[in-house]
Amino acid sequence: MSEQLKDVLQRQKSQTSHDNGHEKSEDIVQLVGFIIGDEEYAIPILNIQEIIKPIDYTRVPSTPDYVLGMFNLRGNVIPLIDLRRKFHISPKNEDGQTRYIVMKDGDNIAGFVIDKLTEAIRLKSSQIDPAPETLIREKGMISGIGKRADSILTILKVEELLKRDF
């Protein structure tokens, strides 16, 4: 497990220990936040296999431009998808904050390039609104919109991100 993921889990554990006992655990949604472009997104923490620093990958011909290639993670060959390109945001070079989030949903697994990892996020179910109707009709990647005191957060559907259309 990467140091960054351990740190996120430790912060989440710390937040959990500070609860006042009035919240039921099933009313809390646990997420990991990350930045792509100028926006913050999140996915459920249970769908994360690990978070790693960028490693070498091999290009694969005849795939969409957002599929960067495949990489080898401890003997498993995993596709690598650039979320900037998938979301039609202009690409940028990797820097010291770039990470790969390896997500899983059942047997589906893929790595996703993100600009920056933010934090472990705990939201009450009541703080999450369903995706707006106009966004549901599009690609269906948005699970909901999380409301925080100072911002909103787009919560993504991991199963949709992992769907192979290549």
Reading the chain (166 residues) residue by residue, the pLDDT tens digits are: 677 777 776 766 666 555 554 545 458 999 999 999 999 999 999 999 999 999 999 999 999 999 999 999 999 999 999 999 999 999 899 999 999 999 999 999 999 999 999 999 999 999 999 988 765 555 588 999 999 988 999 999 999 999 887 6
Question: Is residue 166 in a domain?
Answer: no
**Strand ranges across the sheet with 76-82:** 48-52, 99-105, 108-114, 76-82, 67-73
Give me the pLDDT at residue 23, please: 46
**Strand ranges across the sheet with 116-124:** 116-124, 28-36, 39-44, 152-156, 142-147, 128-130
Give me the pLDDT at residue 36, please: 96
Please give the tally of structural domains in the chain: 1
Question: Is residue 124 in a domain?
Answer: yes
The domain of 60 spans 3-161
Give me the pLDDT at residue 139, please: 57
Please state the pTM of the whole predicted model. Answer: 0.81
Residue 82 contacts residue 44 (beta carbons within 8 Å): no
Sequence-ordered list of residues with C-beta below 8 angstroms from that of 166, at least 6 positions apart, any chain? 63, 64, 67
Question: Is residue 38 in a domain?
Answer: yes
Question: Is residue 152 in a domain?
Answer: yes
Give me the pLDDT at residue 6, please: 73
Q: What is the CATH number of the domain that holds 120?
A: 2.40.50.180
